Structure 1
Amino acid sequence: GEGRAADKVVMRQVVIRHPVVAGLLALVLTLYSLHVLLVSENVEAKVDFEGNLPGSEGRELLATERKQRTNIFFLKAHKCASSTVQNILMRFGLERGLSFVLPVANNYIGNPDPFSPDMIDDTLALPSGKYHIFTHHSRYSRESAVEVMFEDSAFVTILRHPVEVYESIYSYYNFQKMFNISFSELLNNPEKVSKINRRYFNRVGFNQMSFDLGFLVEDFSSEPKVLEFVEKIDTEFHLVMMSEWMEASLVLLADLMNWPLDNVVSLKLNSRPPDSIYLMSPSERETVLSWNTVDYTLYTHFLNKFRKRIRKYGEDRMKEDIERLLTLNAKLHFRCVKSLNNKGFGHTQAYKLRDEADRLCYYAARGELAFTEDLRKIQRHTVKVLKKLESLLSETA
């Protein structure tokens, strides 16, 4: 005790006799206090992924200091701007050498059948049976998804107003040719709806978002089962994005994953030019809505929840972050894109890149099928090497 008291006396004497040292000591104490504050905020941020943190630049600093989450299950719903989100996740995983749940060909792994782990081809199946990212078209099965994802995975999906979803489906999959009836003719003769009541390849049709999320077609007319289904999705997903508010959705995704906004920059993918979209009258919209009542119940529930989540995030904070993200996206577009064309599948827009476009530009504009094949080649090689090692270690000396 006496030694510590003596130390204090000496310290007071040093402070009094050495003003320069006193200034340095004050600076050290200030920096230490700031460090303690940042650490405490950092710990709190890890506990509450939706907590409010002041100042955009400070938040970006914290996002880089906090441990970025790498594990995410993204249910890619049809015609909900999900290709843009998928591209963000594929780029994130590619740059970090992460593993993916991948289809053996094309871009579906499950659907119309719900996803099952045995759908993963042996050439793409990691020995651990666990994967960082799931982001391809599938049909949701909670039990199967949990089986292949890490325990701390974020579960995310995206929705869109069901009237716009169905109009987009009708155009993209050319239902006019398949069912021999134009969209406008169908809307003006709704009694002909029986002509289009079957699902395209058993995958695409009415109440598409609910179908993708695993709801059974035979339960579409059961209100109690619809409400039970919506509650189930609410319980099992950490974030339900809204395609009409894509920037706000991506800000919330970045917040959930502890990512800086740079991780969610994008070029809009698989979008149609405005002149290819059928503009419906109010009565026509009501007709389409009457065919998609399950999706409308799902959508309105999560739209209300989305609104509340933004308010909890902070309205001013959200506006500030959206402005930053829009600036980042504009810079990416200017840096990468030379021109647009409408030669994509279903009259969707594609990008012609500048000659000097870099790796980020290349993958931000890369189509889903080509990008998926790139990932397959990488993962097949990884699986081959790991299995070769396992074979070596399983042999006795």
Structure 2
Amino acid sequence: MAKQLLPPLPGTEYNMLVSHVPFNKTAIDRVIRNATYITILRHPVATYESIFGYFKFDKYFKIERNNTSDDPFETFLSNSDEYFRNVKDSYFKTLLRNRQMFDVGLELKNYNNESLVDNVIQQASNEFDLVMIAEYFDESLVLLKNLLSWDFEDILYLEKNKRNNNLRFQIDSRKRQRILEINEADYKLYQHFNKTFWNKVEAYGDGFHEDVATFRGMLQKMRTGCVDEGKFVIDNKNRRNSTLLKNNAPTYCPKVNRDDFAFLAVRQQSWILQTNTAPPGNRDTTYSEEK
């Protein structure tokens, strides 16, 4: 990462790294020194169902549907050990067991080492300034705002990258139990940081719930102004629902509505190499950023 990134503006440093990256504090310190570290966790059951559906693992494992009532996820969970043995792709191996533990620093080979699992969780507790919880997203953003001394306007969002309902699977108690068995380390991680999350809410003080209510009111006002309710398109090979904006939406709405890849592309394109018109030999080269 340090070798491939474009250099920051002369005399400046990078401010934020906001993309998917398995956590390695030593490596990230080389890119952004003295950073504030933030991540987000989701309940392992919801995470695992989402991974299976989004990456279409039923197709990967060639799990056939004989009729419309067949459930490929049920078939997979009932024979998961056998399917695991047939996975050759190293990236897919990280997705199919304890992916969230992998993202905070535990190697695949150590998932069954309870001592190392505990050590990584404790290390994450020491190194992360905030671990957000997806099931309490708005509350998490209010904690983030407070941590970074931001304003409510800095955390406004529109829902993006929502999976098509055709790619979702129902979860019963048997599936839930099997998912938790497969992702035992993830569940331990989630339980630990769910507890620390509510400790931070308590430490926030009496104004927390009032701030969450204020924030949700601002979100609703923005959504009313921006979103053409009830209309969406399914894109990316039938995997995602994309929200459509009103024709007369305020000018800030398209910016809020950008997905992560489009936002990164715009940011990369915004760096323009400018050369002034000084005589040869006395020509300075500077970088400026389009607004």
In the superposition, the TM-score normalised over structure 1's length comes to 0.62
The answer to whether the aligner puts 1:118 opposite 2:8 as a matched pair is no
Letter in 2 for 1:185: T
Task: Report the CA distance between 1:322 and its aligned residue.
Answer: 1.2
Letter in 1 for 2:178: T
Task: Report the CA distance between 1:276 and its aligned residue.
Answer: 4.5
1:227 to 118, 121, 131: 118
Task: Report the CA distance between 1:238 and its aligned residue.
Answer: 0.4
Letter in 1 for 2:256: A
Distance 1:362 1:393, change over 3 A: closer
Letter in 2 for 1:307: W
Task: Report the CA distance between 1:342 and its aligned residue.
Answer: 4.9
> CA separation in 2, counterparts of 1:371 and 1:188?
40
Matches within 5 A, 1:14-25: none
> CA separation in 1, counterparts of 2:240 and 2:149?
32
Q: 2:24 aligns to what?
A: 141
Q: 2:96 aligns to what?
A: 205
Secondary structure in 2 matching 1:134: coil
Task: Report the CA distance between 1:290 and its aligned residue.
Answer: 1.1
Task: Report the CA distance between 1:195 and its aligned residue.
Answer: 5.0
The answer to whether the aligner puts 1:293 opposite 2:184 as a matched pair is yes
2:219 to 329, 334, 339: 329
Matches within 5 A, 1:108-187: 116-120=1-5, 124-126=6-8, 130-151=13-34, 153-181=35-63, 182-187=72-77
After superposition, the C-alpha distances for 1:218-239 in whole angstroms (9 at most, x for unaligned) are 1111111111111111111100
2:151 to 260, 275, 279: 260
Asked whether the equivalents of residues 87 and 93 of structure 2 are also in contact (C-alpha less than 8 Å), the reply is no
1:319 to 185, 205, 209: 209
RMSD: 2.5
Distance 1:296 1:392, change over 3 A: farther
- Relative to its length, the structure with more helix (as a share) is 1
1:343 to 218, 227, 234: 234
Secondary structure in 1 matching 2:143: helix
Task: Report the CA distance between 1:193 and its aligned residue.
Answer: 3.8
Distance 1:320 1:368, change over 3 A: same
The answer to whether the aligner puts 1:372 opposite 2:254 as a matched pair is no
Distance 1:281 1:232, change over 3 A: same
> CA separation in 1, counterparts of 2:178 and 2:93?
23
Unaligned runs of 5+ in 2: 64-71, 286-291
- Relative to its length, the structure with more strand (as a share) is 2
Q: 2:131 aligns to what?
A: 240
Larger Rg: 1
Distance 1:385 1:141, change over 3 A: farther
